[in-house]
Chains A and B, each alone.
Chain A
């Protein structure tokens, strides 16, 4: 076990850095910039039962400290993801793969989870009940306790792989939702998904995004993410994959202090395709600077 290794429900990662779903495609796009096999894991593009085009464009709006996206779960559908995308990723990536799954009904989620469960290359399922950009799906499953309980328990029943539930910050009390996930059998939590936001065009007074609203990510949401992770880490006993505006190795340590066991990087990948590898390379220096021998010492260090 190296200085940077961490673990998620028995799945060992060579380092805690995981590109976040939706910001890294199916991974191989980044192979032109660096050897992606050096990552801890990859959370692949959100996958649904059927292929989806996603929302109309514009789907992206810049913000001063991040961006809004309203991609709307564009993906080729679970069959193609398993038969084409994951094998293509496997050619260049030998580390554990996290499959991010979404849906528009409980049956959708169960269908996609069952398929992913049978895929040997998938190590962890990340149940996305927090995408704010699809109507009648995603986040609408993550804001109501009864619905959360139903979808998590039904998906848990069809998989033997660790099940991580990705939570939305767009709720009154994220701790309540996290507790329901724990009771319903989740093995871990991923948090946070994007904050729902908007921007307007100054000339037309219309929303910039064709979808009107989008999910806000980037460094601007980091304090919100740290607060959510901290509150949940205090209240539940599940491992947490922390995310939200992580831009450098210092941010990674802060996420671990707040209660995370591993960290996803999202928006940073879009502005710097080498963001993840730069962060991985810089973690040992930051640990030295802070007088920390092993990154596992950081996990939950700030949770009192």
Chain B
């Protein structure tokens, strides 16, 4: 069950170029799982902006977003204290597994939802490796935060300016694990899915109309039939994922 609530902006700060962290305060009771998202009404654009939840507690939600268009560019200038209308607790989220050795894989702004996944896995006593992929050193964020959770962290950069050179798959090839959770750009998800890493869960992104299953704007085909990314996803099981091309 999702809830439409008013949240107050507690923080809205730049992490790295074009990437911002916003902390919102209010009723978070509709959030039940890591990997869910919220849909924010932003003054100046028509549709709400769906953003994944990086972390939350009883009274606050942390999101990390990239300025990619008109809505997020307006968001970065929203001042502390502002009230936002937000649909909270959207999407199915990840189903955390009991495996002893698990890996979370984030690419760019796909990193934030993996933070909560890692946090919950570690709290339940699992060993977690975080593979965080970026294009270049200046884009890296949250490496320290994942370390503080107690994860082994491997950072990859496409240009080799920091950590392992290449893509997240270059790091995954050297690791042993039995289950993965991932979020990132589609080409990355595809490479991970096709990389013979066993079972996992993949979080997809799609342009949405409503965010709660009414408009059928974000439907995708899966092995188990048509699914709406907003309510049947954004997380799909590796067994059901189909690639159109």
The interface of chain A, by Cβ under 8 A from chain B, is 22-25, 29-30, 32-33, 45, 53-54, 56-67, 69, 71, 74, 208, 218-219, 267, 269-274
Q: Can you name 26 A-B pairs with beta carbons within 8 Å?
A: A23-B215, A30-B214, A32-B1, A53-B221, A53-B226, A57-B207, A57-B217, A60-B207, A62-B71, A63-B46, A66-B46, A67-B209, A69-B217, A71-B215, A71-B217, A71-B219, A74-B219, A74-B226, A219-B46, A267-B46, A269-B214, A271-B41, A271-B47, A272-B85, A273-B210, A273-B214
- Chain B nearest CB from A232 CB (Å) reads 27
Q: Is the CB of A57 within 8 A of B213?
A: no
| Complex contact A22–B215 (CB within 8 A) | yes
B3-39 CB mask vs A (1 if < 8 Å, else 0) is 0100000000000000000000000000000000000
Q: Is B218 an interface residue (CB 8 A)?
A: yes
6 more contacts with CB within 8 A, not counting A54-B216, A71-B216, A71-B217, are A23-B210, A25-B214, A29-B213, A29-B231, A270-B214, A272-B4
Q: Judge whether A60 and B47 touch: CB under 8 Å.
A: yes
A35 to chain B, nearest CB (A): 15
A33-B4, A59-B218, A71-B217 are known contacts. Are A270 and B210 too (CB-CB below 8 A)? yes
Q: Return the contact of B47 from the options A23, A32, A62, A273 (Cβ within 8 A).
A: A62
User: How many Å from the CB of A170 to the closest CB on chain B?
Assistant: 21
Closest CB pairs A-B (n = 3): A60-B217, A270-B210, A58-B207
B220-239 contacts to A, CB under 8 A, are 220-221, 226, 231
Total number of residue pairs linking A and B with CB closer than 8 Å: 96
Residue of A nearest to B218 (CB): A57
- Binding site secondary structure of chain B: loop
Residues of B within 8 A of A45 (CB): 216
Give the residues in chain B near A30, CB-CB below 8 Å: 214
Query: How close is A125's CB to chain B, nearest CB, in angstroms?
Result: 21
B1 touches A65 (CB 8 A): no
Contact B218 A32 (CB under 8 A): no
For the complex, is B53 an interface residue (Cβ under 8 Å from A)? no
Closest to A266 in B: B215
- The verdict on A271 contacting B217 (CB below 8 Å), with A32-B1, A58-B207, A62-B71 known, is no
> In this complex, what residue of A is CB-closest to B226?
A53
CB–CB B216/A61 < 8 A: no
Chain A residues with CB under 8 A of B46:
62-67, 218-219, 267, 271
Q: How far is the CA of A25 from the CA of B2 in the complex (A)?
A: 16
Interface residues of B in 80-117 (CB under 8 A from A): 85, 87
Task: State whether the Cβ of B206 lies closer than 8 Å to any Cβ in chain A.
Answer: yes
Q: Per a CB cutoff under 8 Å, which of A23, A54, A69, A274 touches B219? A: A54
Closest B residue by C-beta to A73: B216
Flag whether B144 is at the interface (Cβ < 8 A): no
Report Cα–Cα, A62/B209, bound state, in Å: 8
B residues near A29, Cβ cutoff 8 Å: 212-214, 231
Q: Tell me the bound Cα distance from A63 to B46 in angstroms.
A: 6
The answer to whether A64 touches B210, judged by C-beta atoms less than 8 angstroms apart, is no
> In the bound complex, do residue B244 and residue A270 qualify as a contact, i.e. CB atoms below 8 Å apart?
no
A274 proximity list for chain B (CB < 8 A): 4
Closest residue of A by beta carbon distance from B68: A203
Task: Give the CA-CA distance A214 to B138 in the complex, in Å.
Answer: 38
A273-B87 contact given A23-B214, A57-B207, A69-B215, CB 8 Å threshold: yes
List, in ascending order, chain A residues with CB within 8 A of B66's CB.
Answer: none
Q: How far is the CA of A30 from the CA of B213 in the complex (A)?
A: 9
Q: Are B2 and A32 in contact (CB under 8 A)?
A: yes
Instruction: For B70, list chain A residues within 8 Å (CB).
Output: 62
**CA–CA, A289 to B44, complex, Å?**
29
B221 touches A60 (CB 8 A): no
**B123 interface residue per 8 A CB criterion:** no
- Shortest CB-to-CB span from A188 to chain B, Å, is 25
Question: Across the interface, do A270 and B2 meet the contact criterion of CB distance under 8 Å?
Answer: no
Whose C-beta in chain A lies nearest to the C-beta of B48? Answer: A271
B131 interfacial contact with A, CB 8 Å: no
